[in-house]
């Protein structure tokens, strides 16, 4: 969940919705520092902010907003969304767990200077990872299984779009299904997470294609032999996003519905269009 593709389209949000989104983002940042370390806030992502908002919406656990100061810049005022459930803690754990595995992956695929930087910070993230895994073992088990399956899929002789996208899809589907209150809701959340996870993997592959070709790294789109790669990428991405949207409509969130609708209808399609067609994306402010 450290890809950064699950973004809002700020221009289509109401002012109060943008303020609420920033309040959850800042609340997650504060929780990361509280649960783990000041440095883990550097792993804060739009993806885990989306996860936090979805959890808070499902549980209807937001109890209001309070004024405060930014933890990175004390001179900057900000608001924090209050939450009576463990949504922030769970999202913080997922942030740390996925960041740890991403660093381990970079240690294998990164360049010399990137590997050097990873070696310096990996021991710290290793410590925080153990703490997060102990708090939420179900998240640790799901992510670790995904990494193992991903490595196996990408090294398979039959490595293709479906085989390679399945581990990330399965991971997010399994993680979201944990939040279901009954078997029907678990199934709906699984379907939503599965197809959204598939979209995340494929858009990341599309985004990295040029770089992977230059470095001769694996990328599932490298095996495409058709005439129009952009049309093919758009087609497979649209398919996943459409099926995720069908499942999302069955979830029917109440709290933060405007923000979640914005992401599904505008944010994700806009990000996809930017990646596939190489357009300049709308600036959401990296530090919201």
Task: Write out pLDDT tens, residues 37-68.
Answer: 988 999 999 999 999 999 999 999 999 999 99
- Greater confidence (155 vs 280) lies with 155
**Whole-number pLDDT of residue 171:** 97
| pLDDT range class, residue 163, cuts 50, 70, 90 | very high
The SS3 call for residue 254 is coil
Mean pLDDT of all residues in 274-284: 74
What backbone torsions phi and psi does residue 82 show, to the nearest 5 degrees? -85, 150
If you average pLDDT over residues 238-258, what whole number do you get? 95
Does the structure show a pLDDT above 80 at 7?
yes
What percentage of the chain carries pLDDT values higher than 90?
75
State pLDDT tens for residues 77-86.
999 999 999 9
N-terminal to C-terminal alpha carbon distance within the chain? 18
Torsion sign across C-alpha atoms 254, 256, 259, 263: negative
Lowest mean pLDDT among 16-20, 138-142, 161-165, 226-230: 226-230
According to the model, what pLDDT value does residue 74 have?
A: 81
Q: What is the mean pLDDT of residues 6-27?
A: 96
State pLDDT tens for residues 141-150: 999 999 999 9
In three-state secondary structure terms, 47 is helix
Cβ neighbour number for residue 58 with a 10 Å cutoff: 21
Whether pLDDT at 112 is above 80? no
Neighbouring CB atoms inside 10 A of 281's CB total 12
Contact between 52 and 88 (Cβ < 8 Å): yes
Mean pLDDT value across the chain: 92
pLDDT score at 47: 95
Say how far apart CA 243 and CA 233 lie, in whole Å.
16
Alpha-carbon 199 to chain mean position: 11
pLDDT number for residue 200: 97
Q: Is the full-model pTM beyond 0.85?
A: yes
Q: Which residues make Cβ contacts (< 8 Å) with residue 94, sequence separation at least 6? A: 1, 48, 51, 132, 136, 139, 143, 175
């Amino acid at each position: 969940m450290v890809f950064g593709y699950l973004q809002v389209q700020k221009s289509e949000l109401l002012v109060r919705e943008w303020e609420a989104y920033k309040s959850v983002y800042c609340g997650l940042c504060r929780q990361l520092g509280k649960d783990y370390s000041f440095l883990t806030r550097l792993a804060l992502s739009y993806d885990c902010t989306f996860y936090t908002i979805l959890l808070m919406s499902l549980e209807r656990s937001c109890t209001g907003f309070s004024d405060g100061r930014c933890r990175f810049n004390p001179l900057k005022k900000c608001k924090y969304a209050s939450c009576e459930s463990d949504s922030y803690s769970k999202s913080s754990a997922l942030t740390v767990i996925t960041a740890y595995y991403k660093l381990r992956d970079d240690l294998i695929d990164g360049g010399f200077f990137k590997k050097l930087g990873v070696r310096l910070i990996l021991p710290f993230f290793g410590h925080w990872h153990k703490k997060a895994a102990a708090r939420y073992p179900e998240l640790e088990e799901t992510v670790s299984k995904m990494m193992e399956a991903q490595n196996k899929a990408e090294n398979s002789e039959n490595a293709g779009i479906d085989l390679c996208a399945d581990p990330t899809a399965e991971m997010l589907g399994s993680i979201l299904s944990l939040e279901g209150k009954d078997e029907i809701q678990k199934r709906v959340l699984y379907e939503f997470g599965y197809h959204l996870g598939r979209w995340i993997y494929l858009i990341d592959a599309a985004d990295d294609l040029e770089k992977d070709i230059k470095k001769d790294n694996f990328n599932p789109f490298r095996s495409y032999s058709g005439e129009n790669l952009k049309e093919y990428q758009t087609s497979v991405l649209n398919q996943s996003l459409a099926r995720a949207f069908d499942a999302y409509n069955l979830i029917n969130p109440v709290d933060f519905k405007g923000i979640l609708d914005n992401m599904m209808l505008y944010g994700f399609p806009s990000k996809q269009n930017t990646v596939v067609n190489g357009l300049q994306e709308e600036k959401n402010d990296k530090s919201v």
